[in-house]
């Protein structure tokens, strides 16, 4: 299990040595940046007056060596920062991915749900870029200011004034881009969500002629994103251009002040040139920081979102490993609802199933059947009450262990890009081929798989696009049966099956019961519950009836008299609540017809 963010040491604490190395290299680099100014001053003040060629050659050799060291240290700093970014990805990528998977089960997810991984990419890219180097160079500005004051106090004052103006521009950039950058991320999430939803449902969009309208919705979201992005870019670009102009003006001003001091006899020509170069170098980190401020703001907001996401979805301490369940499934006054919601979808559900039992769950639409299925397999946690396997509540199981003992076929069947065998084996690293084939035989899909182009090695494509609906459902049934789980929950498992598939489904249900497992089948068609021995009727999120299949069905599915023709305006008779629910069940199962 991936450790929680609270138990994992801070990345920046773990990379303390790397950051200290970057700070040391930044100090050396900034000291070496003085080489050009000192070289220029020595050439003007020593070489030209003395016309000494050996002195010029010696100075050239020294400055070349210093420049080489400066380039080496700069390259090392960049490589260290790039590796810090890679360490960040290695440390957080699995946690962020697992958090992204669990987020829909704990609340509503905006957009396509991929924003945490995009944030991590943005943070890594910022660390590997030039932004952190500029931030590490900023603390060395006082060094250049001290040297400028050493040249002459007036030169130092002009430089300080320019630095203050650039720092003000930096703060103004932060204030003006913070909200726009945040709004741009929100608009991007909405835009990506619309695009991903349209891509997943491309067939419906095309068949119903919705492409233009969906495109218009995406275009509106994209326009909002571009507006916020443009505002951020305009502010950062405009203030960046202003900082460049200000730096050039300041450099010229320092040159003019130096010329005045030379004319007045208070400085030499070398000091005049060196101070101009040094001033430019002193303000370069501020200008670079402004140029990278957009990336800095994005990385900072992304880091905050990643931390909040990890905190919201952090798993608790791993519980003690429990033995495999063998005896019973117990539901004790349990209730739950959609993640992030306030309304119970099912409540006060209680029943017990012994090993070898089969339970069919029927009821009208929106009665809570699928919500009950999610509660039984732990997808939705119990808000109150308990769901137990052999007396152990589901939250007492490790997620990986519970997954081995549970088979689940959801109403909306999804397969993953990969081979048929990988999907059946739940993408186990080294699955047992015999177990894969056993699961396929239990679902009576082995022969069908062998007739695929590459058999078990057939690529199913994204979301199983290479297979028909019935093939996807039967392979998903084999996945639910892989490893012979103790509890198997099937939500409308025959919605895409033909008669042969329904017979195979009944045989699979009987097979699970014969080996001592428990099967719960959510059904709208009566053929799906042919292999169960008990029936539970749901209505308005509560249990309406529970007992042996024949007894419950004889009560719920009692004959319905033929309706007499009546005028359109005739008022319908009001049935008692249980009778009304029963009529809906009759209609949903198609028995009366």
Rounded to an integer, what distance in angstroms lies between the CA atom of residue 292 and that of residue 286?
10
Round to the nearest angstrom and report the end-to-end CA distance of the chain.
51
Q: How far is CA 352 from CA 328, 394, 397, 522, in A?
A: 7, 15, 19, 17
Helix (H) or strand (E) holding 329: strand 328-336
Please tell me the predicted confidence (pLDDT) of residue 518. 94
3-state secondary structure 252-302: HHHHHHHHHHHHCCCCCHHHHHHHHHHHHHHHHHHHHHHHCHHHHHHHHHH
What residues contact residue 227 under an 8 Å CB cut-off, 6+ apart? 187
Nearest 5°: phi and psi at 420? Answer: -60, -45
Q: Locate CATH 1.20.1560.10 in the chain.
A: 11-313
Cα–Cα nearest to 397, from 408, 389, 385, 386: 389
Starting at the edge strand found earlier in the chain, the sheet holding 487-491 runs: 406-409, 487-491, 518-522, 358-362, 534-539, 542-548
Please tell me the predicted confidence (pLDDT) of residue 568. 42
What residues contact residue 2 under an 8 Å CB cut-off, 6+ apart? 94, 95, 98, 315
Q: Locate CATH 3.40.50.300 in the chain.
A: 329-559+575-589
* Three-class DSSP category at 537: strand
Please tell me the predicted confidence (pLDDT) of residue 106. 64
Beta bridge partners of 520: 359, 489
* Three-class DSSP category at 322: coil
- Written as tens digits, the pLDDT of the chain (593 aa) is 344 444 444 555 667 778 888 888 988 988 888 888 888 888 888 888 888 888 889 989 999 999 999 899 989 988 888 888 888 877 788 878 877 777 666 656 655 567 788 888 888 888 877 778 878 888 888 888 888 888 888 888 888 888 788 778 877 877 887 788 778 878 887 888 788 777 767 767 777 777 888 888 888 888 888 888 888 888 877 877 887 788 788 878 888 888 888 888 888 888 888 888 888 777 777 777 777 777 787 788 788 888 887 877 766 666 778 888 999 999 999 999 888 777 899 999 999 999 999 999 998 888 889 999 999 998 888 999 999 999 889 888 888 888 889 999 988 888 888 899 999 999 888 888 999 999 999 988 999 999 988 999 998 877 666 788 888 888 999 999 999 999 999 998 887 777 888 888 899 999 999 999 999 999 877 778 888 999 999 988 899 989 998 888 888 765 545 444 443 443 333 333 334 444 344 444 444 43
Helix (H) or strand (E) holding 424: helix 420-424
Architecture of domain 11-313: Up-down Bundle (1.20)
Cα–Cα nearest to 489, from 522, 512, 513: 522
Directed axis angle between helix 53-102 and helix 293-313, to 10°?
30
Structure pTM?
A: 0.65
* Three-class DSSP category at 328: strand
The topology under which CATH files domain 329-559+575-589 is Rossmann fold (3.40.50)
3-state secondary structure 347-396: EEEEEEEECCCEEEEECCCCCCHHHHHHHHHCCCCCCEEEEEECCEEHHH
How deeply is 259 buried, as exposed, middle or buried, from its count of CB atoms within 10 A (0-12, 13-18, 19+)?
middle
């Amino acid at each position: 299990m991936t450790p929680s963010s609270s138990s994992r040491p801070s990345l920046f604490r773990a990379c303390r040595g790397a950051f200290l190395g970057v700070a040391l290299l930044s100090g050396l680099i900034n000291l070496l940046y003085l080489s050009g100014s000192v070289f220029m001053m020595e050439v003007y003040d020593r070489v030209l007056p003395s016309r000494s060629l050996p002195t010029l050659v010696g100075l050239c050799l020294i400055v070349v060596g210093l420049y080489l060291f400066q380039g080496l240290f700069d390259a090392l700093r960049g490589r260290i920062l790039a590796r810090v970014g890679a360490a960040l990805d290695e440390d957080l990528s699995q946690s962020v991915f697992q958090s992204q998977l669990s987020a829909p089960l704990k609340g509503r997810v905006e957009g396509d749900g991929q924003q945490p991984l995009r944030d991590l990419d943005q943070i890594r890219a910022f660390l590997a870029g030039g932004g952190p180097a500029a931030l590490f160079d900023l603390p060395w500005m006082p060094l250049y200011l001290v040297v400028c004051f050493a040249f002459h106090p007036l030169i130092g004052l002009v430089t300080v004034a320019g630095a203050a103006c650039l720092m003000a521009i930096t703060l103004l950039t932060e204030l003006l881009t913070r909200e726009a950058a945040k709004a741009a991320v929100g608009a991007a999430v909405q835009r990506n969500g619309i695009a991903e939803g349209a891509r997943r449902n491309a067939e419906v969009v095309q068949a119903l002629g919705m492409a233009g309208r969906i495109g218009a919705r995406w275009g509106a979201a994209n326009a909002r994103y571009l507006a916020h992005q443009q505002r951020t870019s305009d502010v950062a670009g405009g203030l960046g251009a202003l900082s460049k102009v200000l730096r050039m003006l300041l450099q010229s001003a320092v040159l003019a002040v130096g010329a005045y001091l030379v004319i007045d006899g208070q400085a030499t020509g070398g000091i005049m040139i060196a101070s101009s170069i040094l001033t430019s170098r002193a303000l370069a980190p501020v200008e670079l920081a402004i140029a990278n401020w957009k990336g800095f703001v994005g990385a900072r907001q992304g880091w905050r979102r990643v931390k909040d996401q990890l905190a919201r979805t952090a798993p608790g301490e791993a519980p003690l490993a429990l033995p495999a369940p063998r005896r019973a499934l117990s539901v004790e006054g349990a209730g739950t609802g959609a993640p992030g919601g306030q309304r119970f979808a099912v409540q006060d559900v209680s029943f017990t199933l012994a090993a070898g039992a089969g339970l069919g769950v029927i009821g009208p639409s929106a009665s809570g059947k699928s919500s009950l299925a999610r509660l039984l397999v732990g997808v939705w946690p119990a808000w109150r009450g308990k769901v137990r396997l052999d007396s152990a509540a589901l939250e007492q199981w490790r997620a990986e262990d519970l997954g081995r003992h549970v088979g689940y076929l959801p109403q909306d069947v999804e397969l993953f890009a990969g081979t048929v065998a990988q999907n059946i084996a739940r993408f186990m690293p080294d699955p047992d081929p015999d177990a894969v084939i056993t699961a396929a035989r239990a679902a009576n899909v082995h022969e069908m798989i062998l007739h695929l182009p590459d058999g078990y090695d057939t690529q199913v494509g994204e979301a199983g696009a290479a297979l028909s609906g019935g093939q996807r459902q039967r392979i998903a049934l084999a996945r639910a049966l892989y490893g012979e789980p103790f509890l198997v929950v099937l939500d409308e498992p025959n919605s895409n099956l033909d008669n042969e598939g329904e017979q195979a489904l009944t045989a699979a249900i009987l097979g699970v019961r014969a080996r001592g497992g428990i099967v719960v089948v959510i059904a709208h068609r009566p053929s799906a519950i042919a292999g169960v021995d008990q029936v539970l009727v749901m209505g308005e999120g509560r249990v309406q009836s529970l007992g042996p299949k024949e007894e419950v069905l004889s009560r719920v599915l009692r004959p319905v008299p033929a309706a007499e023709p009546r005028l359109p305006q005739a008022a319908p008779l009001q049935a008692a609540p249980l009778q009304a629910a029963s009529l809906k069940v009759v209609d949903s199962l198609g028995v009366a017809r």
